[in-house]
Amino acid sequence: MKAFDLTCNGQMNSIQIEDGAPVFGWKLPAEDAAAQSSYQIRLYQEDIESNKWRMIWDSGRIKSGESIQNPYRGEEALKCLSTYQFEVKFWNEQDEESEWSDAAQFETGLMGIGWKADWIGYDEENGNPYDPSQTFYCADDFEKGSNQYYLPPLPYMRHEFRADKKIKKARIYMAALGLLEVQVNGRKAGEDLFVSGLSDYKHTVYYRAYDVTDLVREGENAVGVILADGWYAGYMGLTSREWYGSKPRAMVQLELYFDDGTAKTIVTDGSWKASYGPLLESDIFQGETYDANRELTGFSEAGFDDRDWKPVVTGDERAPGVYPIVHPGPPVVEQERIPPAETVTAKDHSMILDFGKILTGVVALKLKGPKGGKVTIRHAEMLDENQKLYLRGNRSARCLDTYILKGTGEESCQPRFTYHGFRYAEIILTPGIEITEVRAVRISTELIKPTEFHCSNETVNQVFQIIKNTQLCNEFEVPTDCCARDERLGWGTEGNHFTYAMSYFSHQEAFIRKWTTDIWDGQHEDGGLEAIAPSMMMKDIEQFVGDLQSNHGIHMLYALWQMYGDIRTFRRYQSQAEKYFEFLERNADRHIRFATGCDWLGILEETDHSDILHGYGDGSPGMIGTAHYAVAVCMMQRLLKAAGEPERAKFYGELYEQIRRAFCLNFVARDGSLRRGGQGDYVMALAAGLIPTEYEHQAVDHLVRELTKDGFVRWKGGTSTSPYFLYVMRKYRKTGIANQFLSSVRYPGIGYMIAMGATAVWERWDALFEDGTMHPQPMNAWSHIGFTTVGEYLISGLAGIDAAAPGFRRILIQPGPSREVTRARATLWSNYGEIAVDWIWEQGRLKLTCKIPGNTKAQIQLPSDRGTQTYEAGAGVHEYETILTDIL
């Protein structure tokens, strides 16, 4: 027996470890070892000159059952730009010793001190300069005037160098204030897109590293860079452009290692040259214009004629001395290429194509035509009643791509630095152009180890699929609220509950860790957190600072611990988290806090529809706000206890009790009911444990009556309460209610959306009315993360896989059968390995098979005619059966 799938900082074979004291993890074979009792790690560093390995740390035998998040404890800190190997062995509970694992390798990145490159850019004016005083109509004001977009051309920059020796390996490190594509000898470095990502550029800039050994050759070489405004200087959500800065910059460092043990470094500096090229415009929201007649063929190859090019400028506009750090999250990648499902309309020189589902990305074309011919592509999520693109939903986002042909046979076009949320694309051609191929290129953050799910109810299967599609549309560097309009921001309430729920849909550890950095980068001096991350100033935002929208920082720290066993990240931000709670309590009214947007986008009792003016919902701002506050305080208490801070944990436990007493005093009537409490108020009070124990089941019964009084489950909650709705149903064993909601096609619900033709989860329960007309409010996205949060229940409640201890070290298997769903199976990947369940309820028997990974234990809870039957299991495959004649 031996360990496998060794990781450093959660990554396998990484070439960009930035941590001088990382953590190690591994998996244990379930068939050989029920659990680990001790382990030993050996770490080696490569000596480039001698090509030998030197052991720098032998942990010795450490008595511990942990096989994830194990810290490096050597005296010698890891060095930048170095290669390491490590191996692991373990002892099981019978004290049997394993073999040494196969060695795993990783490389460290630049770690700040390794940077030798300068920021470079090209600022020569091309046309009229940007006028920030000009009114820009966006968000709710987008129809009050027309916009003149400022979209400057993109600089191309290049440099040549010589490699006089045979190359052993080459690594390139790239960062941007903006976005960049780097080419070496005419070939792109890495396959990732939107490099080097989105951050709060005032505090943090990310870089990525790539292996370019196959791109560099002995002799003459060249490096080329294309630099775009991106999020840094381009148009951003609910505001104009240049929020973070006005001068995009690139920083690139190429490290060459030769066979003789020597090395050479190539960097961006003042010797580079620049020019404008075929990319006349490129903006994430507004789209891209490419003139193939201006192509700089061979600009990233040696020997290119750059005599007319000009010197780059060096330096950036931020505070000096802030170097890029490694991007901690998964990259943005091309996911798939989708052919059109249908041609909606076709005329002589235009067509509208339907790609069958909403996606994020661009349209790629192959085409032929005359020199100077033009193709424009406009994008939308929906069509209007006249079968034309419904562009109101994009608001001020232009979502327009243009390609100008050079007329030399078949040409290919695919935008580089923009993306759109769309199902439909209108393509307009000038005469003489023939399109030979059309594909929608789906682009989003890479999903790691997606969860598998299937059940006996087809509507519920479709719910899983459109939530998964919504995840693909809206994980784009951050959890964007929507993917099409002029927003696409990491809102707190929607973002944190969505991201936690999606931890049951794929392995989110790196994605969460990245967004956590973005969140805490935006903390105010007084401790408050912005409602979006990365933070920015925009219309209608400051009232949400300290609102439940700002609890995302605590939720993400909790998610990393609960889902992945990572308490180290909490320790990093503990002092900031304490400062945040000081801000909350200082601004509370005797422990009562208020939800600014109430139950955002909930169904209003008065109209049976969501708010037509904006998004405000029903519910008590005090009850909802205080319940969210209590939930966050509970999370903080548990995190502090796990971090070995019992006194601070005790403080938050006492604070929770004070909040609980204040809630009861202000909102619980003498008969135990909530004063004027609606569905969402009851759900939040029950989820946060704020209702007195003696009235708890009375409150549950009242909630169930309210949910079912129309003869079917009718949930009206908004994005503030929906994440807790099915959790409460599961908590109080109301499986039938949960499954009825998920399987129903009646309004409101996700099943209703599917019945009305949805391919992603809508922003509003009533985005499309039952008569087929659209909700009149243009803030009405057709792919939005707010209500995807019910998806967590599909895995944790219906299939029945949940974490009973942080990181799934201990697993709870608790299936949720009902008359609506009689069979389910799911596979979820934890840091310990694969967890799988497959259960069926038929002929009065519930049969379950489960797979438990090595070094974990599980508790299996199965309903039966004699009540809940509980079993304990270790690693391996297990089968259970109970008699269950009926479920209420």
Which H or E run includes 53? strand 52-58
Asked, for residue 807, whether it belongs to a domain, the answer is no
Provide the whole-model pTM: 0.97
Write b or e for each residue in 197-207: b if 16 or more Cβ atoms lie within 10 A of its Cβ, otherwise e: bbbbbbbbbbb
Q: Are residues 463 and 581 in the same domain?
A: yes
Under 8 Å between Cβ of 86 and 43: yes
Domain boundary among 285, 308, 329: 329
What pairing do the DSSP bridges indicate for beta strands 845-852 and 801-803?
Answer: unpaired
Burial of 321 (0-12, 13-18, 19+ CB in 10 A): exposed
CATH of the domain at 63: 2.60.40.10
Largest CA distance in the chain: 86
| Cα–Cα distance measured from residue 850 to residue 145, given in angstroms and rounded to the nearest whole number | 60
What pLDDT, on the 0 to 100 scale, is given for residue 538? Answer: 65
| Cα–Cα distance measured from residue 647 to residue 185, given in angstroms and rounded to the nearest whole number | 59
CB atoms within 10 A of CB 698: 14
Which H or E run includes 319? none
Under 8 Å between Cβ of 702 and 691: no
Under 8 Å between Cβ of 348 and 335: no
Q: Are residues 341 and 193 in the same domain?
A: no
| Cα–Cα distance measured from residue 305 to residue 320, given in angstroms and rounded to the nearest whole number | 34
Q: Are residues 138 and 205 in the same domain?
A: yes
Q: Catalogue the E-assigned strands of 115-261.
A: 120-121, 155-163, 167-177, 179-184, 187-188, 206-211, 219-228, 249-258
Lookup: tokens for 451: 């969860």
In the chain, the N- to C-terminal Cα span, in Å, equals 47
- Distances, alpha carbon 518 to alpha carbons 79, 513, 521, 612, in Å: 26, 9, 5, 32
| Cα–Cα distance measured from residue 26 to residue 100, given in angstroms and rounded to the nearest whole number | 12
What pLDDT, on the 0 to 100 scale, is given for residue 540? Answer: 63
| Cα–Cα distance measured from residue 745 to residue 774, given in angstroms and rounded to the nearest whole number | 18
Q: State which amino acid sits at residue 322.
A: V
Q: Are residues 220 and 309 in the same domain?
A: yes
Range of the domain at 26: 4-107
What pairing do the DSSP bridges indicate for beta strands 287-291 and 400-404?
Answer: parallel
**CA nearest to 216, candidates 173, 255, 267, 158:** 255
Domain boundary among 74, 107, 140: 107
Domain boundary among 771, 799, 827: 799
Q: Are residues 175 and 323 in the same domain?
A: yes
Which H or E run includes 363? strand 350-368
Q: Are residues 743 and 663 in the same domain?
A: yes
What pLDDT, on the 0 to 100 scale, is given for residue 539? Answer: 61
The SS3 call for residue 788 is helix
Phi, psi dihedral angles at 228 (to 5 degrees): -115, 160
Q: Tokens 């959306």 belong to which residue?
A: 753
Q: Tokens 């608001």 belong to which residue?
A: 395
What pLDDT, on the 0 to 100 scale, is given for residue 237? Answer: 83
Q: Tokens 């682009």 belong to which residue?
A: 443
Q: Are residues 132 and 101 in the same domain?
A: no
Q: Helix crossing, 568-586 with 646-667: angle to 10°?
A: 40
Lookup: tokens for 820: 């609506």
Asked, for residue 888, whether it belongs to a domain, the answer is no
Asked, for residue 604, whether it belongs to a domain, the answer is yes
| Cα–Cα distance measured from residue 599 to residue 470, given in angstroms and rounded to the nearest whole number | 21
Under 8 Å between Cβ of 64 and 93: no
Asked, for residue 273, whether it belongs to a domain, the answer is yes
Asked, for residue 360, whether it belongs to a domain, the answer is yes
Asked, for residue 744, whether it belongs to a domain, the answer is yes
**CA nearest to 527, candidates 450, 602, 583:** 583
Whether residue 817 has a cis bond before it, omega within 30° of 0: no
What pLDDT, on the 0 to 100 scale, is given for residue 33? Answer: 65
Question: At CA 205, angle to CA 204 and CA 210, rounded to 5?
Answer: 140
CATH of the domain at 558: 1.50.10.10
CATH of the domain at 415: 2.60.120.260
Which H or E run includes 699? helix 696-708
Q: Are residues 76 and 133 in the same domain?
A: no
Under 8 Å between Cβ of 690 and 631: no
Lookup: tokens for 664: 């009861």
Residues in the chain with pLDDT < 70? 33, 537-540, 888
Under 8 Å between Cβ of 253 and 41: no
CB atoms within 10 A of CB 283: 24
Burial of 795 (0-12, 13-18, 19+ CB in 10 A): buried
| Cα–Cα distance measured from residue 242 to residue 251, given in angstroms and rounded to the nearest whole number | 19
Which H or E run includes 640? helix 621-642
Beta bridge partners of 287: 283
Asked, for residue 725, whether it belongs to a domain, the answer is yes
Under 8 Å between Cβ of 3 and 90: yes
Q: Are residues 412 and 556 in the same domain?
A: no
Q: Are residues 427 and 465 in the same domain?
A: no
What pLDDT, on the 0 to 100 scale, is given for residue 424? Answer: 98
Q: Are residues 138 and 274 in the same domain?
A: yes
Question: At CA 421, angle to CA 419 and CA 425, rounded to 5?
Answer: 95
Q: Are residues 405 and 498 in the same domain?
A: no
Asked, for residue 427, whether it belongs to a domain, the answer is yes
- Distances, alpha carbon 687 to alpha carbons 6, 241, 728, 736, 759, in Å: 38, 41, 6, 18, 30
Instruction: Specify the number of domains making up the chain.
Output: 5
The SS3 call for residue 168 is strand
| Cα–Cα distance measured from residue 624 to residue 269, given in angstroms and rounded to the nearest whole number | 54
| Cα–Cα distance measured from residue 624 to residue 677, given in angstroms and rounded to the nearest whole number | 10
Burial of 694 (0-12, 13-18, 19+ CB in 10 A): exposed
CATH of the domain at 823: 2.60.420.10
CB atoms within 10 A of CB 339: 11
Q: State which amino acid sits at residue 440.
A: A
Residue 485: which residues within 8 A CB-CB, separation 6 or more?
393, 394, 395, 397, 421, 779, 781
